[in-house]
Structure 1
Amino acid sequence: MIQFNKENFYLIREKFRLKKPWDSFVVFFLSIIITIPLFIVFHQNLVDPQWLFGLDRILLFIFVFAIVYGVIYALRTISIICLGLYILMLIYGSLFGTFNFNSVFDDYNSMIYSMNNNPFPEDIIIAKLLPFPNKNEILRAIEYKNPKVRNFAIMATTRHFKHIRGYSEYRNLIQCFAVFKEINSRWNYVNDPKNGDYIASARESLLYFSGDCDDHSILMAACVRSIGGTPRLIHTKGHIYPEILIGSKNDLENVNYLIKNVLFPEESRDKQLNYHIDEHGQIWLNLDYTAKYPGGPFLSEEILGALTLE
């Protein structure tokens, strides 16, 4: 009985084994795909001796590749079978589902980019510290159900990023970033009256796209919420600005790639994303009027309170 099973095993293995040189080609291809992210991890965490022409990193890449290649080659039959099944799943997903070849390519790009361009600066965890100033007036001014507010937000989604393909799970965020782009490209800062705090409604700010930081925050929050985004307002010493809910750190990797490579490549070149983490571990990205891209630099870091629009 044992002999029979062994014979069957060898017959199955021979049936699925690729002929030379195709087996070596597939193993080489898989090894490159796996080596690149592993190399980036080692590159970032090992001390750089700064050899001439980066020879130490070249040798490191060759070393990692040799180990990966050896392991995959030793298990090449199993590896090739798994690869074949994975490709069949992607074909099925392309025809009947949402996860397809483009999704894999986007996820791999996001992973590689995020490893090489760390989107995670120092985490700043905040909680509601003090009562939010003018809370009731601000909530009334965020007229996200007003038709004019929603129509403006919809207009922004047709003007910016409408033709971006893929990233279906981040479609709503992309549309909210379109709203950010439209508002911030038109905003004109105007002070409140002396000895007074004027709270303009979202509908009012649509007339001239002018006002101070709380007027901008109200308009941004109203428009983002009107198309399904989750905004909140941050109160600092002498300043209020809006943020948008991104999700987890895994979501931040993909959003980091989207912002810096697809949506705002010029505005965010060589810059970091700036965000806060709330008490639940959720990430919120800065949408201040001073920012040229979502996640731009904070104007002020002394957090006094947060007002979330559920």
Structure 2
Amino acid sequence: MIKPDIPKIKAFIKKLQVKKPWDSIIIFVLNVLIAIPLFIIIHQNIVDPEWPLHIDRILIFITMVTAIQLILRLLKHFLIFCIAVYLIVLLYGSVFGNYGFNAVYEEYEAMVYTMAYDPNPQDLIISKLLPFPNKSKIIDAVDYNNPQVRNYAVGAATKYFKDVKGYHEHRLMIQCFSVFKDIRNQWNYVNDPRNAEYIASASETILHFSGDCDDHAILMAACIRAVGGTPRVIHTGGHLYPEMLVGTKADLEIANYLIKEQLFIEESRGKEVHYHVDEYGQVWLNLDYTARFPGGPFMSEEILGALTFN
């Protein structure tokens, strides 16, 4: 039986030790580096009780930092090993496109921004008993597979915001925002014929970028769908408007930051981002022609129905 060489083991452990006061400094830095991505993950996966000043998040962060500090103190003889493991994990995530250094920075930036500047949630109450007006006509009119619609949507998706660095995994969201901007810039409101409800297809409306609210909603929904997004049309009684699926609350944080600080800075200055949360917890942004940026103010908040295209 081979006996362990105790002196060599002790010598190896001694080599891994860091002398004072550097051990305390390294523990503090390592605590912060571990706490940031861990807090982001926790923040994104627990229910937000919407306490004032985000006190729940502050308490979670303090508790987490304290626990990590105690664990690192217990492992202070292996600090070099802990640093190596931390760097290897993030380096692996960066190289293979998972959760790496860039992802930590981007999500932390977006999370802090949203905690400081909350977007404005709206209550979503849809009466599923009410029929959606002209439902079958609207479904047929959202002809996202039409070559003209597809070709326009592809061009509009890549017309703006091509130089945004990072956020590669949110490329679809950014491209949908580009589609919104291009349609919004060209749109002209034109009434339907007197005493008639004219439902124009997206391929028809795209010829002049003109029509009423349902024509705009149909065109926007078709173009968002044509580039891979998930749109829906909201019925409020006297108005129809489009929304796009953002995803989770974590995705909303990214969207809020991109809109306010990257893509629609002037249009959204001093304004809130408006959205709806459906019965499944999914977030939808307003894309109405009355809004100058995605998530602009609603023209009408009374919701009587939603028609989703996915």
TM-score by length of 2: 0.80
How far residue 43 of structure 1 moved from its aligned partner, in angstroms, is: 8.7
Tell me what 2:18 maps to.
Answer: 18
Q: Secondary structure at the match of 2:26?
A: helix
How far residue 128 of structure 1 moved from its aligned partner, in angstroms, is: 3.0
Map 1:1-310 to 2 at 5 A.
14-20=14-20, 22-30=22-30, 44=53, 71=70, 74-75=73-74, 77=76, 81-119=81-119, 121-126=121-126, 128-310=128-310
Letter in 1 for 2:124: I
Q: Structure 2: where are the runs of 5+ without partners?
A: 41-49, 56-61
Distance 1:301 1:16 in 2: 62
1:234-255 Cα deviation digits (max 9, x unpaired) = 0002100001111122221222
Q: Secondary structure at the match of 2:298?
A: coil
> Quick check: 1:31–1:68 contact (8 Å CA) kept in 2?
no
Distance 1:138 1:24 in 2: 65
Letter in 2 for 1:89: V
1:5-32 Cα deviation digits (max 9, x unpaired) = 9999976654433345543443343466
> 244-253 or 118-127: which moved more?
118-127
1:265-295 Cα deviation digits (max 9, x unpaired) = 2222232221112222211111111111111
Letter in 2 for 1:250: A
Letter in 2 for 1:179: V
> Quick check: 1:72–1:79 contact (8 Å CA) kept in 2?
no
Letter in 2 for 1:206: I
Distance 2:10 2:182 in 1: 63
Letter in 2 for 1:225: R
Q: Secondary structure at the match of 1:303?
A: coil
1:150-173 Cα deviation digits (max 9, x unpaired) = 111111122111222322322111
> Quick check: 1:236–1:305 contact (8 Å CA) kept in 2?
yes
Distance 2:279 2:5 in 1: 56
Letter in 1 for 2:298: F
Identity rate of aligned residues, in percent?
A: 54
Change (3 A) 1:18 1:246: same
Tell me what 2:58 maps to.
Answer: none
> Quick check: 2:190–2:211 contact (8 Å CA) kept in 1?
yes
Q: Secondary structure at the match of 1:131?
A: coil
Letter in 1 for 2:221: A
Q: Structure 1: where are the runs of 5+ without partners?
A: 47-62
How far residue 125 of structure 1 moved from its aligned partner, in angstroms, is: 4.4
Q: Secondary structure at the match of 2:170?
A: helix
Q: Secondary structure at the match of 2:206?
A: helix
